[in-house]
Structure 1
C-alpha cells in the first residue's frame, strides 16, 4: 500500500440501483502537509475531498477496483467504484465495464445501494434509543474487512462499522465484554455494530509504557472471561489448524523448497505441540486476533481495545507474534518478560515463557493461515491488500521452526 506522494484516481460511477454512468477523468489526491508519504487505499476522506474539489461531486466509495503501480515519473493510479445519487454534470467516459460486474464474494457495503442499507439501519437503531442523527454521515473507510462511517448524533459521535460474515461475531463479543476496556456497544446486527466514540487518540507508535498497559488490559480480559460464555467464534488449536495450514502451504508458490520443508515439519508435529502447550498450564481463552497499538485508543487515563472482529478461542499468547512485530527490537525482550510475568501471576504454577518458545513458529503459521483465509473469502480485486502475507508469514514460520 505504500507509494510516493501523489495518487492518480479515477472513479467508475454507478447509481444506487447499479446503473453504470461512466468513468471520471483522473484527478490527483495529494498528501496532507506533514503526513507520511504513504497511501492507504482503504481510507476515504482524502479521496472524497479531492473528488469534491476537482469534480464537484461527493460520491460514496464502494470498493477498490484496480491499482496500477507507479512506473518512472507516472503516479500510481487507483480506480474505485463509487456511487452517486444522480448523474453528475461532468464529462464521463466509457470503459471499465468489467469493474462493475457482480462478484459472488463482494461485501454487502461494496455493492450499489449497500451503504444506504447500513445507514438506514443505524438511524433506526439509534432512534429506538432516543438518539437522533444530526448531520450527514462521514464515510471513513471501505475495504474487504470492514466499512466505517462517523455519525454526528445529539448524544455525541457514533461509529457505524460493517463487517464480513467471517467477522460477524464481533458484535456479540463486544456485548459480552462491556464490563471491560472495549468500546461501548449501542446496537448490533448480524454484520454491523454501532459504537460510542472513544475520546483520545489511536496509539500507533506507542512506547513501552503504553505497550505494557495494553498487555495488562488484554491479560486482564483473558484471565477473567470464561470462554464458555463467549459466542460461537473461530477456534485455533494446533490440531484444528492443520488442514488449513496444509492448504496455505500448497497454494504458496513463492516459498522455496527449504522453507516448505520446514513448514511441513511443523505441520506434522502439531498434535505433539498441542500436548506440549497443555503442559505449560495456560488454558485456551479469548484471543484478540489483531492485537497491536493501532487498535488501542484513548488518553493517558483511559485506554480501550478496539476491533474484535479477528477474535477467536485459542492459546492466550497467540497475540504475541503480531504484537511484537510492531514493537521496537530494543523493547521486545522487556515487553515479553512483562507479558509472561502477567500470566504467571494470573495462573500460578504456569510456564508462559516455555509456552512462548513452543508457540513461536505456530503463531507465525496461524498468521499465514488467517491471511490465506481472507484471500479465499474476498473478491479478486481486493486481494491486493493481503496477497503477499501468507508467503511472508510462511517464511517467518520456517525461520522460527529451524531456529
Structure 2
C-alpha cells in the first residue's frame, strides 16, 4: 500500500510503498521505507490523514513544530528525550520510532543486552471543559507496582514521572502468537493473583495513579451516555430512544454484580492477548495506561477475541475464575463474569468517550470510531 510522507520545511511530498494493512500509529514501516526508498532519515511528527495515510515528517533538529496536541509533534522535543535516554542506556545502533499517535510515542533502542523501549505518554486536552483524562501515569504505576510486586509487572529501567517517560526492556513475544493452552492458563491465573494481591488494600492503587472506576463510579458515568455527546449523536433516533431503558438494565446489572461479592481491585483495562508478552515461560501484561481500581472481571471483556480461540477456551476462563472461589461459589462467579461481559461494553464506551476530548486529527477519529463500536455492542447486548 502507498503512504505519503510530507517533509516539513522542505516542500517535499514523497510516495512510499509499505506493507498492506498497517494502522497509522504503527510508524516503523514508514520510517524504514523513507530510509530505504529515498535515503532520508526522519521521524513522524504527526499523522495528518488516515485515508490515505499521510504523515508530516522531519529530520531531528530541523526545528519544526505542528499544531498537533502531542509534545512529540515538534522536533525540539527529541532534543530533550534523546539525551534523557542516553543517560540511562547505551545504544549499540540507531534507534527506531515504532509507534506514534495522540496517546503515545514509542522508540526502540538496541543495546548489548537486547532492545529497550522508550515510551512517552500524552495528557493534552482539546478544551478546558473536557471530560477527565482516564489514563494512568504508566511510568509511575509500573515503578510502584513493580516495587510492591516484583516479577508480576514489568519493571522500568528508568522513569520520569513528571514528563510521563519510561524505558522498558523487551518483554518477549505476544501471548496471541502462543498455541500452548498451559501458557494461556498461567497468564490468566497470574493476572488474577496480581489483582487479588490488592484486594485487601484497593485504595492503594489510587496512589499509583490508577483511576477510580469502581461500580458506583460506573453507575454515575452512565449519566454521560444519557446526555448528548459525540458518541450518542452518531446513533439513529431509534437507538437513541433505547438508551434510557438500556441504562436501567445496566444499573440493575451493576447492582447484581456488586452483590456477588468479588472485591474491586486492580484492572488492566485493555488486557488483550497482544498486550501480554511471553518470555522464558513468564507472561507479563504491559501497556498499563488504562490501569484502574474497578471490578476485576471487566478485564476478560477485552481479553476474549473471536479470532483467537484459546482466549475463549473454557479451561482458560475456569482457571481465572477458580482463583476467586474464596469470595463466591463457582456458579456465582460464572454469573459475575456474564454480568461483567455486559458491563464491559459500558466501561469501554465510557473510556472512549473520555478520550475523545483529549485528541485531535486521525487519533481522535480512531478513538471516536472505537467508541462507536463499543456503544453499538452495548445496545446489542440483551438483558441476561
TM over 0.5: yes
Alignment partner, residue 176 of structure 2: 204
Distance 1:212 1:327 in 2: 18
2:225 paired with 1:242: no
Alignment partner, residue 90 of structure 1: none
2:187 paired with 1:222: no
Report 1 or 2 for greater relative contact order, CA contacts < 8 Å, sequence distance ≥ 6.
Answer: 2
Alignment partner, residue 285 of structure 2: 305
Count of aligned residue pairs for this structure pair: 358
Distance 1:390 1:121, change over 3 A: same
Alignment partner, residue 118 of structure 1: 81
Alignment partner, residue 380 of structure 2: 399
Structure 1 residue 331 displacement after superposition: 6.2
- Partner deviation per Cα, 1:87-110 (whole Å, 9 max, x = no partner): 7xxxxxxxxxxx97514xx11122
TM-score (normalised: structure 1): 0.80
Distance 1:250 1:160, change over 3 A: closer
Structure 1 residue 336 displacement after superposition: 2.9
2:351 paired with 1:366: no
Q: What are the within-5 Å matches in structure 2 for residues 4-403 of structure 1?
A: 6-7=1-2, 9-14=3-8, 20-29=9-18, 31=19, 37-68=20-51, 77-85=52-60, 101-103=66-68, 106-124=69-87, 126=88, 131-165=89-123, 166=133, 167-178=135-146, 179-189=150-160, 190=162, 191-198=164-171, 200-207=172-179, 208-225=181-198, 226-230=201-205, 231-236=208-213, 237=215, 238-247=218-227, 251-268=231-248, 271-299=251-279, 301-326=281-306, 328=308, 332=312, 334=314, 335-344=316-325, 346-347=326-327, 351-402=332-383
Structure 1 residue 358 displacement after superposition: 2.4
| Structure 2 residue matching 1:40: 3-state secondary structure | coil
Q: Verify the 8 A CA contact 1:216 1:342 in the aligned structure 2.
A: yes
Distance 2:43 2:22 in 1: 19
Distance 1:23 1:304, change over 3 A: same
Q: Verify the 8 A CA contact 1:263 1:394 in the aligned structure 2.
A: no
Distance 1:373 1:331, change over 3 A: closer
Distance 1:155 1:25, change over 3 A: closer
Q: Verify the 8 A CA contact 2:104 2:121 in the aligned structure 1.
A: yes
Distance 1:316 1:111 in 2: 39
Distance 1:289 1:273, change over 3 A: same
| Structure 1 residue matching 2:303: 3-state secondary structure | helix
Mean Cα deviation higher: 131-140 or 59-68:
131-140
Alignment partner, residue 130 of structure 2: none
TM-score (normalised: structure 2): 0.83
Q: Which runs of 5+ in 2 are unaligned?
A: 124-132
Q: Verify the 8 A CA contact 2:60 2:75 in the aligned structure 1.
A: no
Distance 1:264 1:389, change over 3 A: farther
Mean Cα deviation higher: 362-371 or 351-360:
351-360
| Structure 2 residue matching 1:298: 3-state secondary structure | strand
- Partner deviation per Cα, 1:258-317 (whole Å, 9 max, x = no partner): 443444323245554433222111111010011011011123622221110111110010
Q: Verify the 8 A CA contact 1:266 1:401 in the aligned structure 2.
A: no
